[in-house]
């Protein structure tokens, strides 16, 4: 019998809480924790990577000036705090004193300045610093950013961890992408990196904990490295990860298949740690290529889809259905446009196709074989659209080819994807692809562009939330994006692991191993 | 013989040139590039172009091809786009894993496959023959992926005798090195054992019908000498060909076995670099694999002469 989503989630809530509440004072120091992760770490240069595997490792080695708290709101980390000038053009960051790099050098504003300058030069998402006019280090303990124009979302942008602005020694400033020495300020330092095998990080004994906090708060808070070391081992095969957890070779594993989670739940030595709303399953819609250049056809597709069936097959039952393009609990969450979501009305969809004058034009779906859930979702969508009389072709590629195809507007109508970190870090990056002049804007939508401009420029937070609700409604109304549902990522840990709280990226500070 | 070997090596150069040319062309012609992979799906075209420029991928195809050949001639295989290391270092780091795995699997294959095949031939059309043939067929038919997982469940989870995966270098602990490679080697060897046993059986049956075997028996030679000295030596010629091919395939790396057992070998390196479009690593790995296959074929040819006095090179 398959483990249902509810069984996975409700049956383990107590275990999740139990895992996270052990007070640090009662925890044992020492030991090596082994984390089984599913993807290879391509690089440890966070300025030059969008890889989740890189984040899993490197966010325990590096820190940012401002990062995200438990609810994904900006919070100071290497900065003591921040101050914004009355005209909104100058941000001043006094730095925390006594912070040392893993090479023993004390961090100063010169290092922050150099790191930000490197990010402006080679950072993959350096567009988030486009509004920056000047970066200054007036004294060793202060960093100042002057903007060309007011940007109310500036703190959200610089604290996002999609491609984080991590702080490194100034000597790394001129290094090219991927060539940096892995030196940071976090509680763990790099000991060994064997590509395709493992990364070993050890406790940094000179780590200066942030005394402004009492406990972990997102990527900030009071961090203590209780473990001697953490070994992040690459175990690609889910069955081998689960076996490793059962034998005790691995202490924590990610991406546990739903079927295996059911078996593990009966194991008293193991706790299941579900991360709900981890990944948003969806497809981009091409407005420039027939038949999806016709709004009525797009609406017919939107109306036909049964999201429950799609997500059930795609995720093996580990999902939530909700219309938001943000995750519930995020400050900007809204259900605007819900009337367009999960309509599941094939009769109305057929009527819309007739109204659109649809005549057997081929609809091309592009999906990939690299991510099983995207492939499965595409198979179900293909069948549901065929059932309303559409002629559908499904093209399957590997991920690299699928990405290349996406840039060719003449080769696809629906492009299957998933968004994980993007929606988590806020509304400004989520769905930016449909705003001019970004990737999916094959056919500009001036109304949507105007709403987005309001969203990123309104100084009032309540106003920005209203704009985001309008933005989401417009995305649904014009069918820029077909959202299917939210995937639950299931992690599991041995009961000997204490203080591990599920988060978007595993945090190994304040985590210990019981004797 | 030396002259033969030298001629064969020179003749291999066009093969290696062709392999590298085809692989370079195919990899650069298929869609997708490392810049897009590094930037992620949400990157703008402008961001991807900036990365392409930084990586030198915006240079014309022929210019890149010529530069690659020029550097290879000087012993420089280039730098990996994704691994922050040289291609040579990436290969050298993984070669011990794949080499250890291949040698162990080959030893098991030969140790079990040849005797099983001989036994089946000597007991042709008996229960023993049927059992060996059935086991060989099973070995060839069972998916290595499934078998590997079943071995993990039995020997790691249930019996707790062996680790579920990972690699321990020999220098760190010879015992743990062996333990880490035992299940992967068995998984790889079972397929090869099946193939080798079937080939050995078929060849041995043929040889046993030969006049010289009948003569040897008629002379009153002991059975062990007839089989071991006269028959088996002649069986070994086709068997060595199969062993050579098997070893070549094993050295190219087994993506499935290395994935299931989390071994950082050549197979995984090649798969990761193909999915990430890490062109220099793909080129270097394929060139190395082709070179190893060419050398193995040469060794096999030279072994023919050592085993069969009728085979003479260079006369």
Q: Can you give the residue ranges of every domain in chain A?
A: 5-246+495-513, 277-489
What is the model's pLDDT at position A18?
42
Among A37-46, B25-34, B177-186, the range scoring the smallest mean pLDDT is B25-34
Do the chains contact at A43 and B275, CB–CB below 8 Å? no
What is the model's pLDDT at position A23?
53
For residues A478 and A293, what is the distance between their CA atoms, to the nearest angstrom?
11
CA distance B29 to chain A (A): 11
Among A94-103, A179-188, B34-43, B154-163, the range scoring the smallest mean pLDDT is B34-43
Looking at every residue in chain B, the average pLDDT score rounds to 87
Average pLDDT over residues A433-443: 75
What is the model's pLDDT at position B5?
79
Average pLDDT over residues A204-209: 94
pLDDT at A170 over 90: yes
Average pLDDT over residues B259-273: 90
pLDDT at A431 over 80: no
- Residues in chain A closer than 8 A to B53 (CB atoms): none
For residues A327 and A75, what is the distance between their CA atoms, to the nearest angstrom?
19
What is the model's pLDDT at position A253?
96
Between CA B175 and CA B184, with CA B178 as vertex, the angle to 5 degrees is: 155
What is the model's pLDDT at position A11?
45
- With cut-offs at 50, 70 and 90, classify the pLDDT of residue B217: confident
- With cut-offs at 50, 70 and 90, classify the pLDDT of residue B152: very high
Bridge-based pairing state of the strands A362-368 and A391-397: parallel
- Residues in chain B closer than 8 A to A246 (CB atoms): 157
CA distance A4 to chain B (A): 25
Average pLDDT over residues A426-443: 76
Average pLDDT over residues A405-415: 91
Do the chains contact at A195 and B259, CB–CB below 8 Å? no
For residues A99 and A115, what is the distance between their CA atoms, to the nearest angstrom?
15
What is the model's pLDDT at position A422?
79
Interface residue of B33, B42, B85 to substitute, partner A, most A CBs within 10 Å: B42
Q: CATH number of the domain at A277-489, please?
A: 3.10.105.10
What is the model's pLDDT at position A9?
47
User: Smallest Cα–Cα separation from A152: which of A407, A401, A457?
Assistant: A457
- With cut-offs at 50, 70 and 90, classify the pLDDT of residue B11: confident
pLDDT at B57 over 90: no
What is the model's pLDDT at position A194?
87
- With cut-offs at 50, 70 and 90, classify the pLDDT of residue B234: confident
Query: With helix as H, strand as E and coil as C, how does chain B read?
Result: CHHHHHHHHHHHHHHHHHHHHHHHHHHHHCCCCHHHHHHCCCCCHHHHHHHHHHHCCCCCHHHHHHHHHHHHHCCCCCECCCCCCEHHHHHHHHHHHHHHHHHHHHHHHHHHHHHHHHHHHHCCCCHHHHHHHHHHHHHHHCCHHHHHHHHHHHHHHHCCCCCCCCCCCCCCCHHHHHHHHHHHHHHHHHHHHHHHHHHHHHHHHHHHCCHHHHHHHHCCCCHHHHHHHHHHHHHHHHHHHHHHHHHHHHHCCCHHHHHHCCCCCHHHHHHHHHHCCCHHHHHHHHHHHHHHHHHHHHHHHHHHHHHCCCCCCCC
- With cut-offs at 50, 70 and 90, classify the pLDDT of residue B42: low
Do the chains contact at B41 and A404, CB–CB below 8 Å? no
What percent of chain A is modeled with pLDDT above 90?
A: 72
Residue of A nearest to B168 (CA): A197
pLDDT at A453 over 80: yes
Selection from A204-213, A299-308, B59-68 with the highest mean pLDDT: A299-308
User: Smallest Cα–Cα separation from A437: which of A420, A418, A453, A414?
Assistant: A453
For residues A470 and A475, what is the distance between their CA atoms, to the nearest angstrom?
9
What is the model's pLDDT at position B162?
94
What is the model's pLDDT at position B70?
92
pLDDT at B156 over 50: yes
Q: Which of B32, B262, B277 sits opposite A234 (nearest CB)?
A: B262
Interface residue of A58, A124, A182, A196 to substitute, partner B, most B CBs within 10 Å: A196
Average pLDDT over residues A156-178: 93
Handedness of CA A214, A215, A216, A218 (dihedral sign): negative
- With cut-offs at 50, 70 and 90, classify the pLDDT of residue B314: low
For residues A499 and A212, what is the distance between their CA atoms, to the nearest angstrom?
20
What is the model's pLDDT at position A24?
55
Interface residue of A52, A124, A408, A422 to substitute, partner B, most B CBs within 10 Å: A124
What is the model's pLDDT at position A28?
86
Do the chains contact at A176 and B94, CB–CB below 8 Å? no
pLDDT at A224 over 80: yes
Domain B87-307 has CATH 3.20.20.100: no
Average pLDDT over residues B293-304: 86
What is the model's pLDDT at position A1?
39
What is the model's pLDDT at position B39?
77
Among A17-26, A152-161, B2-11, B118-127, the range scoring the smallest mean pLDDT is A17-26
Residue of A nearest to B166 (CA): A197
Do the chains contact at A236 and B262, CB–CB below 8 Å? yes
Do the chains contact at A407 and B45, CB–CB below 8 Å? yes
What is the model's pLDDT at position A424?
82
Among A207-211, A295-299, B41-45, B290-294, the range scoring the smallest mean pLDDT is B41-45
Average pLDDT over residues A205-223: 92
What is the model's pLDDT at position A25?
58
Domain edges within chain B: 87-307
pLDDT at A463 over 90: yes
Interface residue of B79, B155, B164, B263 to substitute, partner A, most A CBs within 10 Å: B164
pLDDT at B85 over 80: yes
More confident residue, A482 or A23: A482
A298: enclosing H helix or E strand: helix A295-304
What is the model's pLDDT at position A441?
62
pLDDT at A21 over 50: no
**Count, residues in chain B:** 315
Pair A338, A475: CB distance under 8 Å: no
- Using CA atoms, how far residue A40 sits from A119, A353, A428, B22, B78, in Å, is 24, 45, 29, 28, 21
What is the model's pLDDT at position A10?
45
A171: enclosing H helix or E strand: none
For residues A502 and A508, what is the distance between their CA atoms, to the nearest angstrom?
11
For residues A251 and A19, what is the distance between their CA atoms, to the nearest angstrom?
13
Average pLDDT over residues A441-458: 90
Domain A5-246+495-513 has CATH 3.40.190.10: yes
Cβ count within 10 A of residue A369: 13
What is the model's pLDDT at position A251?
97
Looking at every residue in chain A, the average pLDDT score rounds to 91
**pLDDT 10s digits, B196-214:** 999 999 999 999 888 988 8
Average pLDDT over residues B177-204: 92
User: Smallest Cα–Cα separation from A34: which of A194, A231, A225?
Assistant: A231
Cβ count within 10 A of residue B315: 5
What is the model's pLDDT at position A19?
46
- Using CA atoms, how far residue A169 sits from A37, A107, A338, B154, in Å, is 29, 7, 48, 49
């Amino acid at each position: 019998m398959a483990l249902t989503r509810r069984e996975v989630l409700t049956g383990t809530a107590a275990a999740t809480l139990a895992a996270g509440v052990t007070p640090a004072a009662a925890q044992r120091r020492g030991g090596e924790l082994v984390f089984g992760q599913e993807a290879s770490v391509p690089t440890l240069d966070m300025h030059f990577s969008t890889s989740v595997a890189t984040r899993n490792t490197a966010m325990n080695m590096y820190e940012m000036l401002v990062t995200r708290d438990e609810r994904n709101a900006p919070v100071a980390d290497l900065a003591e705090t921040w101050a914004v000038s009355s005209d909104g053009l100058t941000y001043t960051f006094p730095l925390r004193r006594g912070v040392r790099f893993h090479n023993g050098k004390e961090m100063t504003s010169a290092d922050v300045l150099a790191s930000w300058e490197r990010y402006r030069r080679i950072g993959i998402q350096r567009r988030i610093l486009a509004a920056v006019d000047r970066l200054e280090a007036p004294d060793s303990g202060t960093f100042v950013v002057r903007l060309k124009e007011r940007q109310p979302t500036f703190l959200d942008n610089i604290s996002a961890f999609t491609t984080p602005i991590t702080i490194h020694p100034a000597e790394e400033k001129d290094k090219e992408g991927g060539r940096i020495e892995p030196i940071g300020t976090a509680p763990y330092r790099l000991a060994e990196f064997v590509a395709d095998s493992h990364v070993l990080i050890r406790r940094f004994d000179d780590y200066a904990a942030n005394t402004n906090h009492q406990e972990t708060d997102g990527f900030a808070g009071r961090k203590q490295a209780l473990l001697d070391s953490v070994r992040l081992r690459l175990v690609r095969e889910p069955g081998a990860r689960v076996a490793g957890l059962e034998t005790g070779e691995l202490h924590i594993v990610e991406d546990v298949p739903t079927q295996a989670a059911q078996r593990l739940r009966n194991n008293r030595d193991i706790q299941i740690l579900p991360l709900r709303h981890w990944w948003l399953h969806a497809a981009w819609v091409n407005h420039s290529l027939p038949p999806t250049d016709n709004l009525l056809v797009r609406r017919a597709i939107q109306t036909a889809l049964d999201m429950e069936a799609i997500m059930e097959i795609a995720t093996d039952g580990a999902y939530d259905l909700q219309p938001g393009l943000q995750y519930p609990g995020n400050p900007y969450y809204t259900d605007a446009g819900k009337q367009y979501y999960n309509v599941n009305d094939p009769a109305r969809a057929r009527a819309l196709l007739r109204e659109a004058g649809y005549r057997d034009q081929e609809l091309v779906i592009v999906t990939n074989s690299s991510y099983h859930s995207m492939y499965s979702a595409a198979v179900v969508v293909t069948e549901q659209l065929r059932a309303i009389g559409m002629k559908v072709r499904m093209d399957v590629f590997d991920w690299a080819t699928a990405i290349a195809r996406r840039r060719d507007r003449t080769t696809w109508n629906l492009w299957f994807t998933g968004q994980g970190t993007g929606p988590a870090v806020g509304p400004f990056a989520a769905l930016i692809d449909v705003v001019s002049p970004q990737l999916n804007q094959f056919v500009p939508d001036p109304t949507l562009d105007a709403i987005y401009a309001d969203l990123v420029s309104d100084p009032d937070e309540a106003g920005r939330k209203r704009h985001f609700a309008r933005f989401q409604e417009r995305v649904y109304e014009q069918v820029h994006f077909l959202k299917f549902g939210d995937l639950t990522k299931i992690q599991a840990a041995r009961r000997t692991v204490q203080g591990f709280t599920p988060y978007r990226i595993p945090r190994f500070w304040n985590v210990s191993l019981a004797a | 013989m030396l002259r033969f070997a030298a001629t064969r090596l020179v003749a291999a150069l066009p093969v290696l040139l062709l392999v590298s040319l085809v692989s370079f062309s195919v990899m650069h012609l298929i869609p997708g590039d490392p810049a897009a992979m590094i930037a992620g799906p949400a990157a703008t075209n402008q961001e991807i172009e900036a990365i392409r420029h930084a990586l030198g991928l915006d240079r014309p195809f022929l210019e890149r091809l010529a530069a690659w050949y020029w550097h290879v001639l000087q012993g420089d295989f280039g730098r990996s786009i994704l691994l922050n290391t040289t291609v040579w270092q990436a290969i050298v780091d993984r070669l011990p894993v794949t080499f250890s795995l291949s040698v162990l699997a080959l030893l098991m294959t030969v140790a079990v496959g040849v005797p099983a095949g001989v036994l089946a031939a000597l007991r042709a059309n008996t229960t023993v023959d049927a059992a060996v043939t059935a086991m060989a067929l099973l070995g060839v038919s069972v998916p290595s992926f499934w078998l590997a997982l079943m071995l993990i469940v039995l020997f790691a989870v249930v019996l707790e005798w062996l680790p579920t995966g990972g690699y321990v270098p020999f220098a760190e602990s010879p015992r743990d090195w062996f333990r880490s490679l035992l299940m992967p080697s068995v998984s790889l060897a079972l397929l090869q054992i099946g193939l080798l046993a079937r080939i050995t059986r078929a060849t041995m049956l043929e040889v046993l019908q030969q006049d010289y075997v009948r003569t040897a028996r008629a002379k009153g030679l002991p059975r062990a000498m007839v089989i071991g000295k006269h028959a088996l030596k002649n069986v070994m010629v086709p068997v060595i060909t199969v062993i050579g091919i098997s070893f070549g395939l094993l050295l190219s790396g087994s993506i499935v076995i290395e994935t299931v057992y989390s071994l950082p070998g050549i197979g995984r390196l090649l798969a990761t670099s193909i999915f990430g479009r890490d062109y220099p690593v793909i080129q270097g790995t394929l060139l190395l694999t082709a070179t190893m296959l060419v050398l193995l074929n040469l060794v096999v040819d030279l072994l023919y002469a050592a085993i069969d006095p009728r085979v003479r090179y260079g006369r």
